[in-house]
Amino acid sequence: MRAVMCRDLGEPESLLVEQIDTPFCSPNQVRVHIWASGLNYVDALFVQGKYQIRPQLPFIPGSEIAGEITELGEQVQGFSVGDRVFASIGLGGFADEVVLSPSQIIPIPDRLSFAQAATMTQSYATAWYSLTQRTLVHPEEWVVVLGAAGGVGLAMIDVARAHGAKVIAVASTSEKLRLCIERGAHGVIDSSTEDVKTRIRELAEGRADVVVDPVGGPLAEQALRALGDNGRYLVIGFASGVIPLLPANQILLRNRQVIGVDWGAWAMANPAENAALLGEVIAAVEDGSITPVEPRSYPLAEASTALRDLLERRITGKACLSS
């Protein structure tokens, strides 16, 4: 089978597409032919050696997949060959096949394509965890989403809207802002041309309730300063590469809160609670209250290009590798 191999930490261009032996499927495992692998910012961080966890070399990146079961171990029950399934697997997704335990796989809701399912878990679980557990978003609240046309950002728009909130989307190009409007944002701000703090205050009539920040950098303080009374600022990530230093007086003023979100660590430490959270996400997909965007697709062999496009902000929305 083909696999995208990371033999040395570095830029995505150092990834190699190799032919390797298919993994052995033991009696309590299933073999999945991967039709789509979600592309996430964290995959680029793994390859660059910039993530807080460094996998042992060599490794196959790719943290979430969707595909079809092609082989069942003899002890496996509850699944059949041909079932459409998706999984969050940490590593190993940029390949033609993967062998998994039944506890890792989830049936794909009928409404979703392989590509949508492969790009859903990280972004939607993060959004759901952020807006229902780290804070609780209420109907009619104003939620400001930075990096809104990225993977996490689009999921935040969808989940915030599903909870009745009004969304202000911040992104850097008109194409990205168009997508945010299509996805239901009530107001948009072009971070490349507009004063983000002033525009948030105008659009939210001075009472922005929640800021969701997967970007960091200079936008962070502007967004914090735009929060209204009891506003909550969710620290999600630093796609800009710059970890912001937030002034404490701006947290004190108006009784604001800054809240950290680390879905991955929480999910690993609390598998049962995470399974319940994913159940809520899937139920919301099935009843139509949320719908992951159809991602842009790259061939598996173009993993380096896809990761480079992600790092250079050239992807509007989500992206996946397809075989």
Binding-site ranges for ligand NAP (CB under 6 A): 40-42, 122, 126, 147, 149-153, 171-172, 176, 191, 214-215, 236-241, 261-264, 310-311, 313
User: Residue 65 or residue 69: which is nearer to ligand NAP going by CB?
Assistant: 65
User: Residue 76 or residue 226: which is nearer to ligand NAP going by CB?
Assistant: 226
Least CB distance from residue 32 to ligand NAP, whole Å? Answer: 23
Least CB distance from residue 76 to ligand NAP, whole Å? Answer: 30
Beta-strand ranges (E) seen in the chain are 2-5, 16-19, 30-39, 64-72, 84-88, 97-100, 105-107, 142-145, 166-171, 187-190, 208-213, 227-235, 257-260, 296-299, 319-322
Least CB distance from residue 80 to ligand NAP, whole Å? Answer: 32
Least CB distance from residue 20 to ligand NAP, whole Å? Answer: 27
User: Residue 308 or residue 313: which is nearer to ligand NAP going by CB?
Assistant: 313
Whole-angstrom CA distances from 165 to 10, 130, 214, 278 are 40, 14, 19, 21
Q: Are 319 and 310 in contact (CB under 8 A)?
A: yes
User: Residue 44 or residue 72: which is nearer to ligand NAP going by CB?
Assistant: 44
Least CB distance from residue 110 to ligand NAP, whole Å? Answer: 26
Six-digit token pair at 95? 């390949």
Question: How many angstroms separate the CA atoms of 261 and 126, rounded?
Answer: 8
Least CB distance from residue 18 to ligand NAP, whole Å? Answer: 26
User: Residue 228 or residue 237: which is nearer to ligand NAP going by CB?
Assistant: 237
User: Residue 29 or residue 297: which is nearer to ligand NAP going by CB?
Assistant: 297
Six-digit token pair at 251? 């947290």
Closest CA to 314 of 217, 172, 128: 172
Closest CA to 197 of 177, 214, 219, 172: 219
Question: How many angstroms separate the CA atoms of 119 and 88, rounded?
Answer: 10
